[in-house]
Amino acid sequence: MLLLGIETSCDDTAAAVLRHGRDVLSSVATNQDEFHAKYGGIVPEIASRRHVALLSAAVEDALDRSGTAFADLDGIAVTCGAGLIGSLVVGVAAAKAYAFALNRPLYGVNHLHGHVFAPFLDRPEPPPFPFLTLLVSGGHSQLVAVESATRMRILGRTHDDAAGEAYDKTARLLGLPYPGGPALDALAQRGDPRAHTFPRHHASGDSLDLSFSGLKTSVRYFLESDAGRDARREDVAASFQAAVVDVLMSRLRTAYERGSYNAVTLSGGVAANSALQAAFRSWTETDSIPAFIPPPKYCTDNAAMIAAAAYYQRDAIRVDALTLHADPNLPFTLSS
């Protein structure tokens, strides 16, 4: 089964061709960072206009690189939510047109479900259900119990800044260019994570919720203080990163101990973080837990993960090519 995936929920214009739900024949993503960098964040209107300019070339490029043609496709998968409405509608409109013109099934995919399926890509053996996912991206940080391809439960999440957002905002405080996550990660590798102690969020009672806004604010106050002005930026970056990783890992371990899982996975842009990956690997190797981390190109937004979600969820998410709508607030749980 050959699926074309299309992803335009935020600022990456992405297309991919996927065979049998896991073999990535091609995955192209046109990064828009240069258009947003001078504003220090994503400007929705610019993002949607860039998608219009780039999407058909991205789709043709994905087909070329995979050595396939439109006629070979068995279906079209597109992100229909959650995300920026102006960005989502570009991908959804294109996918509807392809599906209608080619007379192929159309699958409307939840962007976050795409991230959950990223660890399935280019793997001989996918994670066995039920598994526990730590999904950490620019817009979301959540722990998800993945019971089956279509049954997923959020166990805990952030109600304020997502982990990636905290990275981007803290990177800006440190004078790093946008997007700040990878730059802060690189800077932190040259610093001492024990140089400064920043606060770790503790969830109340049994809650597995997360929060990073207090941490970000505490770094800001520190940088504005006398001690902060003299501190090495590498050490501040490393100490911030240590606090983020501590909070994420402690929630993940608690969630794992409370449930019964066959594996744990990491996904989302922040899953590419070196310190988080090191802590995750050390825990899962010591405790002999089957663990899956996608390669960096599938941690951040891409269309191959969207096609993977469509493959595994295909009976539940097939939609009419004429009536699919983009939904910026698409609920996480699939309606049955």
Q: Tokens 């192209």 identify what position?
A: 28
Residue 79's SS3 state is: strand
Q: Which residues on adjacent β-strands are paired with residue 4?
A: 17, 76
Please answer whether residues 270 and 136 qualify as being in contact, where contact means their C-beta atoms are separated by less than 8 angstroms. yes
Q: Where are the beta strands (DSSP E) in the chain?
A: 2-7, 12-19, 23-31, 75-81, 106-110, 131-136, 141-146, 152-157, 263-267, 291-292, 318-319
152: phi then psi, degrees, rounded to nearest 5: -135, 140
Nearer to ligand KG4, 127 or 139 (CB): 139
**Exposure letters 147-167 (e unless 16+ CB within 10 A, then b):** eebbebebbbbbeebbbbbbb
Verify binding: residue 301, Zn ion, rule CB under 5 A: yes
Nearer to ligand KG4, 21 or 139 (CB): 139
Q: How far apart are CA 218 and CA 169, in angstroms?
A: 12
CB of 333 to ligand KG4, least distance (A): 19
Verify binding: residue 137, Zn ion, rule CB under 5 A: yes
Nearer to Zn ion, 137 or 170 (CB): 137
Q: How far apart are CA 145 and CA 260, in angstroms?
A: 10
Nearer to Zn ion, 27 or 137 (CB): 137
Verify binding: residue 300, ligand KG4, rule CB under 6 A: yes
Nearer to ligand KG4, 67 or 295 (CB): 295
Taking contact as CB under 6 A, which single stretch among the options 54-62, 224-232, 249-257, 268-276 is the one that binds ligand KG4?
Answer: 268-276
Verify binding: residue 185, ligand KG4, rule CB under 6 A: yes
In 3D, which of 197, 203, 228, 233 has the Cα closest to residue 215? 197
Pairing of strands 141-146, 152-157: antiparallel
CB of 178 to ligand KG4, least distance (A): 8
Pairing of strands 106-110, 131-136: unpaired
Nearer to ligand KG4, 63 or 82 (CB): 82
Of these, 76, 88, 94, 272, which contacts ligand KG4 (CB under 6 A)? Answer: 272
Verify binding: residue 5, ligand KG4, rule CB under 6 A: no
In angstroms, the Cα distances linking 78 to 50, 88, 278, 327 are 17, 9, 33, 12
- Tell which positions 124-183 bind ligand KG4, by CB under 6 A: 137-139, 164, 167-168, 179-182
CB of 271 to ligand KG4, least distance (A): 8
Verify binding: residue 185, Zn ion, rule CB under 5 A: no
Of these, 5, 75, 268, 294, which contacts ligand KG4 (CB under 6 A)? Answer: 268
How many residues lie near Zn ion (CB under 5 A)? 2
Pairing of strands 291-292, 263-267: parallel
Verify binding: residue 168, Zn ion, rule CB under 5 A: no
Burial classification of residue 287, based on how many CB atoms lie within 10 Å of its CB (0-12 exposed, 13-18 middle, 19 or more buried): exposed
Nearer to ligand KG4, 189 or 207 (CB): 189
Of these, 239, 273, 284, 313, which contacts ligand KG4 (CB under 6 A)? Answer: 273
Verify binding: residue 270, ligand KG4, rule CB under 6 A: yes
Burial classification of residue 278, based on how many CB atoms lie within 10 Å of its CB (0-12 exposed, 13-18 middle, 19 or more buried): exposed
Residue 125's SS3 state is: coil
Nearer to Zn ion, 164 or 191 (CB): 164
CB of 180 to ligand KG4, least distance (A): 6
Verify binding: residue 12, Zn ion, rule CB under 5 A: no
Per CB under 5 A, residues contacting Zn ion are 137, 301
Per CB under 6 A, residues contacting ligand KG4 are 10, 137-139, 164, 167-168, 179-182, 185, 268-270, 272-273, 300-301
